[in-house]
Amino acid sequence: MADIESTDSLVHPTEIKSIPMYCLGSIKCRIKEDTLKLQELIRLTAILLSVFSICSCGVTFMRTPVFKYGLNIRWIPVAALFITTSMYILKFINVKMGGWGAADSRFWCDVRIMYVRGFNTVRTIINWLSSSVVFGMLTLLMGVESSVLFILMLNIIADWQTGMAENQNQYDIKFQNKFSDENEQLCLESLHHYHQQHTLEKIIWTPFIIASVLKTYLLSCMIFYSSGISSDFIFAVPMVVLIVLWVFLIPCFLNFVYFKQVITFCNLEIYRILADCVIPPLLVMFTLV
């Protein structure tokens, strides 16, 4: 791979402003600005999910509770939606403030440099909570009553390994200003183009394989020990399908094509955002029927 610290190997954002990113092959990823900016993308996602969260909370209060183990399980998908929403709110605050801490201090958290280097620690940590919550819901829907804490622990380990895979395959870039405009907003289109032109020479697959094997083992055991799909919800089967898609199939597929370098990290995050904006609200809607 070319020396990514050399200014000679850089493509200046102004040279690629007319090169948009495309989602699902033909949909241009633009919101309001002439180029797609990280801040506006996260802001829009945070607003949409906040609206969904507030509406779902109000409707849940009006629905008849469904109790299991003394808990109204209608609130579990709503809690997962709130956790996911909080992730985007935190990311927006971080981007808006220009990061927390400093590069030369003991604490440094800057979402922009995470995107530039190709990892997302904030998502990894929040996923420990959100995926554990929906996995707990999955055990209730499938009638799995034993070893729930063990299942959640293995799920957290799998998500941790997924984050490790991103960290071990990140770009060695120590700057972000080359991909920012005059307002210091990170331009995803220029970053996307740069990642396309500077692919990684070696990919470490071990953490990704461990994560995939753990998730496959978990789902296989839950299917084997399941006592049947719960009858507490009309759309219990679609709920199971949505949870499996959100916490296993879609992340596994996206990470695979990313590590095969078919898509860039910017593509990966956009597809993740689309999944977060579609699946959790649908899951909540099916829970409230």
- CA-angle at 196, arms to 35 and 205, nearest 5°: 125
Q: Using DSSP, state whether 181 is helix, strand or coil.
A: coil
Six token digits for residue 15: 């040279």
Q: How far apart are CA 140 and CA 159, in angstroms?
A: 21
Which pLDDT band holds residue 8 (cuts at 50, 70, 90)? very low
Which residue shows structure tokens 């801040």?
39
Distance of CA 7 to the CA centre of its chain: 31
Q: What is the pTM assigned to this prediction? A: 0.88
pLDDT tens digits for 236-274? Answer: 999 999 999 999 999 999 999 999 999 999 999 999 999
Residues 219 and 244 sit within 8 Å (Cβ to Cβ): yes
Closest CA to 19 of 175, 196, 180: 196
Among the listed ranges 131-135, 143-147, 149-153, 269-273, which one has the minimum average pLDDT value?
Answer: 143-147
36-100+107-288, which class in CATH?
A: mainly alpha
Alpha-helix residue ranges (DSSP H) falling in the chain: 38-62, 75-97, 111-117, 121-141, 148-168, 188-197, 206-225, 236-244, 250-259, 265-288
pLDDT tens digits for 277-288? Answer: 999 999 999 999
Q: How far apart are CA 235 and CA 61, in angstroms?
A: 19
Instruction: Collect all residues with Cβ–Cβ distance below 8 Å to 257 and sequence separation of at least 6.
Output: 263
The pLDDT of residue 205: 95
The pLDDT of residue 177: 67
Among the listed ranges 28-42, 64-78, 115-129, which one has the minimum average pLDDT value?
Answer: 28-42
The pLDDT of residue 12: 43
Averaged pLDDT for residues 92-102: 86
- Distances in whole angstroms, Cα of residue 195 to Cα of each of 150, 261, 262: 38, 9, 11
Domain ranges of the chain: 36-100+107-288
